[in-house]
Amino acid sequence: MALPAKIRNPSKILRFFSIKRLLSEINSPLRMVYTEEHLKDKLQKGLDATHVEVVDESDGCGGKFSCIIVSEKFKGKPLLQRHRLVNTVLQEELKTIHAFSQKTFTPEQWEENQN
């Protein structure tokens, strides 16, 4: 990136990039911090889930979650389709969440897993 002649001074370059970064942050969409409860409610409603566990593993920044989801909607679906269902329900949230792991079960699989 070519710098304008009037900011070739090193201290001015630093200020130029700091201001440019600040402006890009201001113009970007607001970053939403999501909670375990928000994700749990959305998954329960969107998938008619009988059981949902959500753990925030990000030390509170809302950027890393792991989930267990139990739903009848997973019956007869392979793992990839199940994960796509979950990702569709959390489409907006996954735009800002940087790490998301999920385990999906049918009610029968969940019962077997508990024994």
Give pLDDT tens digits for 47-71. 999 999 999 998 767 789 999 999 9
Whether 2 is in a domain gets the answer no
Is 68 part of any domain?
A: yes
Span 35-51, average pLDDT: 96
CATH number of the structural domain spanning residue 68: 3.30.300.90
**Is the pLDDT assigned to residue 29 strictly greater than 60?**
no
Domain count, the chain: 1
What is the pLDDT, as a whole number, of residue 115?
Answer: 80
Q: Looking at the predicted structure, is the pLDDT value of residue 21 above 60? A: no
Asked whether the beta carbons of 88 and 53 are under 8 A apart, the reply is: no
Contact status, residue 102 vs residue 83, Cβ threshold 8 Å: yes
Q: Is residue 9 part of a domain?
A: no
User: When comparing pLDDT for 113 and 85, which is higher?
Assistant: 85
Mean confidence (pLDDT) of the chain: 83
Q: Would 53 be classed as within a structural domain?
A: yes
Q: What is the spatial distance between Cα 22 and Cα 28, in angstroms, rounded to a whole number? A: 10
Give the pLDDT band (50/70/90) at residue 78: very high
> What is residue 19's predicted lDDT score, i.e. its pLDDT?
57
Does residue 75 fall inside a structural domain? yes
Q: How many helices (H) and strands (E) does the chain have?
A: 4, 3
More confident residue, 16 or 78: 78
Q: Which range of residues forms the domain containing residue 60? A: 36-114
- pLDDT, position 33: 80
Instruction: Specify the pTM.
Output: 0.71
